[in-house]
A and B are shown apart, each in its own frame.
Chain A
């Protein structure tokens, strides 16, 4: 029990230490990515750190302004890394007027 609590506390501490960076990264994703596309495109990916860096290089080349790249990468890897399970499919709402059904 004691070990579990200690491990839990350590994990919490590690997460807490990173949380500020992750928060900055989330904010950066909103600023950098959304001028051209929704965040759904980002959040549905499951990529390694190297692959995320490659994507950010590609997007920078296409004119994306990334000011806090380090935090953005940490946020992407922590939430949408290739070790995370795929996100369940989102569905759009019905966009066909009822009379056409």
Chain B
């Protein structure tokens, strides 16, 4: 091969790519039990699901996203496990895993989404894990109702909240991860202490016992639950205040919130996401299936509309059959592009309460609740 400037450039470019690949491979880590995931943090684990895994209604455990606030506690021996139930109860309890297994078991399909999913889309940038589309998943959670556990303990009718503490603890003086849940949501028949997800008990997802608060932000679903206390007042620790709060009144982007005007986040907004084709993908000029998912916190999804022309015209997408509160619906739309070229594809969901995804997600200082109409750019190429 003659040594031209072009080949020299190509050689340098190839070398640069090779060294980049090598560096990222050397640098990377495997997370036991997980397929390749978008790695935001390996210690503790903050793992995002690449969108190409979102092609099934139930998200497999081996690609389910992970968000840890604190280092994972050492693996809990199921035989040694104890759940303390105390506070405003007539009969404080120390329950074993077998005790929890003896209570009536319920299967709850529910989507769980990190409060900060989509934070990476906000401008100006805000601190926190820069999640894009994949801090979300849908699983079948199974276990006893929290209400049955509270009845067993004789929870006082004047208790207004439960505090839930996980076995994880912060390093140095990092605050402990404790979350407070209003009693009416704690007593909801779908709020359970999950003993499994999709029939498995992965330690990384908070088992042997994980609180599941369907339709609420992911942070409500405390992992490795070791204590539930019935209380009169909401917990005021960092992860309740100022953590996981959202401005009551919308703020100009980039401006701080007034602490007194921040509210606890509860149910999640209506939202849809495009999973195929992926953003900036090239596809041939041929019939193709646009795909994604949509969910609406405590409501069910009523409708998903898709535009292939930047939002000028919209068509209804097909929805997967189960129309449930808490769980997402997959959507799809067959599309035959008329011409080659660049297309802006968008998706917009409407829920059973009539909420519609906005064009602009309200900026907030912690980057929570991103739910703007999703949008990907696709290049359609003439077939050779």
Contact surface of A with B, Cβ cutoff 8 Å? 35-38, 40-41, 44-48, 51, 54-55, 61-64, 82, 86, 89-96, 100
Contacts and interface: CB of A to CB of B under 8 A. Distances in A.
A92 B130 contact: no
Contacts of B62: 96, 100
B158 interface: no
Nearest to A84: B125
Interface stretch (B168-176, B354-362, B373-381): B168-176
Contacts of B175: 62
Given A36-B171, A51-B127, 8 more contacts: A46-B125, A61-B173, A62-B170, A86-B120, A92-B29, A93-B30, A94-B36, A95-B33
B interface majority secondary structure: loop
B32 interface: yes
Contacts of B71: 36
A62 B28 contact: no
Given A90-B27, A93-B29, A40 B35 contact: no
B127 A47 contact: yes
Interface of B: 24-25, 27-44, 46-48, 50, 62, 71, 120, 124-127, 129-130, 132, 170-175
Given A35-B171, A96-B34, A45 B24 contact: no
A62 B173 contact: yes
Nearest to B48: A89
A93 B43 contact: no
B36 A41 contact: no
A92 B41 CA distance: 10
A70 B28 CA distance: 30
Contact of B39 (A45, A90, A96): A90
Given A92-B29, A92-B30, A96-B62, A38 B42 contact: yes
Contacts of B37: 91-92
A91 B127 contact: no
B31 A92 contact: yes
Given A62-B172, A63-B173, A90-B24, A95 B125 contact: no
Nearest to B28: A93
A81 to B, nearest CB: 10
Contact of B24 (A44, A55, A64, A91): A91
A35 B44 CA distance: 11
A19 to B, nearest CB: 22
